[in-house]
Structure 1
Amino acid sequence: MVTDTSQLVDADIITSSLDDPEKFATLFDRYAAMLYRYISFRLGSELTEDLVGETFLIAFRRRGSYDVSYLDARPWLLGIATKLIIRHRRAEVSRYRALRRQAPVQAVDGPEEAITRVLAAQGSRPVLLQALSRLPRGDRDVLLLIAWSDMTYQETARALNIPVGTVKSRLNRARRMVREAMGGINPLKEHTNG
């Protein structure tokens, strides 16, 4: 029986947690900070701790049905978190509107903070936040998973349980809408994400 799960891939940790539930904590150690950043950017810090905990609780309860052919559990966890965020959509849109009215906050290292820092320097932050609040939910989910969680098209498709083609079309539409709102400037680095 494996006692140290720190070197195992996520699928093996989930499998071993079926016999020893405490091993599931390794996934929390690996991904709680990532989920915290993702959820807090989308909804603010008020709900973040609760939703991170709820994400892991749902994942723990569903670990028996996890498809172990996927070695990386990030898309699965981000998919659960995104579905929880959808329940709090009004709070997310309100947060973007409130942030648009505020002065830029001090940036902290991380991908989403780096984007915010660049946008604040350009004075584009309010426009971007307004554009994000106006995106259709599905388009916003895809854009944020790819741009701020560094997910691939395939991982995003798996997280949202949609086809890869849908991910690509939603991302294209979201980027176009953000670019239009920004006056033709795309602050979210367009990268191909295979």
Structure 2
Amino acid sequence: MATDEELLTRSVTDASAFEPLVERHSRALHGYFARRAPEAADDLLAEAWLRAYAGRHTYQASRGPARAWLFGVARNVLAAHWRGRERALGSVAVLAGEPSSDPWHAVDQRLDAAAVAPLMRQTLAELPAVERELLLLVAWEQLSPTEAATVVGIPAGTARSRLYRARTRLRTALGPAAPLSLTGDLS
């Protein structure tokens, strides 16, 4: 069975090599979109696959695993979606106090931890955007810190330190109410 990296590299000259990547990663990428923009998840997934296919020649195995590259494409598609929504809403969103290109307010409404949701929402919202994205990529998307670093475009060591800071802030804010998945070592 070919690895994702082999398939992605081979797909540049053999388009059929791209199909197994779609089969292997569609569910995870759809989950990524569904947790961040549920109303558009299907369309965003389709757009991500179109962009990944069109840009497959830009993948470099030396820069990280194919899975992280795909999540990077997904992140760019999501950012473009948010920018488009912002343009469509125009100044109405600014006057209403909505965030510019990171609609965290919509994501935080879907947190499962009902007992600590208000405090978790507040703490996550206060995190710098990159720290929040790293934490969510590792916790929700099950990416390794190194893969998450590739997605957000920072060095792996920097990602680990920012992820540590984000987890520490969350643990401190939640105190004894912290879910087990936050109290253990996720790196």
Which category of TM-score, normalised to the shorter sequence, fits these structures?
Answer: 0.7 to 0.9
> Contact (CA 8 Å) 1:143, 1:171: kept in 2 or not?
yes
Q: Which residue of 2 aligns with 1:132?
A: 124
Q: So what's the TM-score if we normalise by structure 1?
A: 0.74
The Cα of 1:26 is off from its aligned counterpart by 1.4
Q: Which residue of 2 aligns with 1:110?
A: none
Of all paired residues, the percent bearing the same amino acid is 32
**What is the CA RMSD across the aligned residues, in angstroms?**
2.4
- Of 28, 31, 52 in structure 2, the residue corresponding to residue 34 of structure 1 is 28
| Separation in structure 2 between the aligned mates of residue 34 and residue 139 of structure 1, nearest angstrom | 21
Question: Aligned ranges for residues 97-176 of structure 1 at < 5 Å?
Answer: 97-99=108-110, 116=112, 119-120=113-114, 123-176=115-168
Q: Mark the CA change 1:98 to 1:91 in structure 2 (over 3 Å): closer, same or farther.
A: farther
Q: Which residue of 2 aligns with 1:67?
A: 60
| Separation in structure 2 between the aligned mates of residue 32 and residue 97 of structure 1, nearest angstrom | 23
Q: Mark the CA change 1:169 to 1:70 in structure 2 (over 3 Å): closer, same or farther.
A: closer
Q: So what's the TM-score if we normalise by structure 2?
A: 0.76
The Cα of 1:54 is off from its aligned counterpart by 1.8
Amino acid at match of 2:68: P
Which runs of 5 or more residues in structure 1 are unaligned? 1-6, 101-115
Deviation track 1:114-153 (CA, whole Å, cap 9, x = no partner) reads xx3xx23xx1123223322332210111101111222222
- Of 83, 103, 107 in structure 2, the residue corresponding to residue 92 of structure 1 is 103
Which runs of 5 or more residues in structure 2 are unaligned? 83-99
Deviation track 1:82-128 (CA, whole Å, cap 9, x = no partner) reads 2333442756312135447xxxxxxxxxxxxxxx3xx23xx112322
Moved more, 137-146 or 9-18: 9-18
| Separation in structure 2 between the aligned mates of residue 24 and residue 130 of structure 1, nearest angstrom | 40
Count of equivalent residues: 167
| Separation in structure 2 between the aligned mates of residue 177 and residue 127 of structure 1, nearest angstrom | 11
The Cα of 1:77 is off from its aligned counterpart by 0.9
Q: Mark the CA change 1:16 to 1:176 in structure 2 (over 3 Å): closer, same or farther.
A: same
- Of 44, 48, 59 in structure 2, the residue corresponding to residue 55 of structure 1 is 48
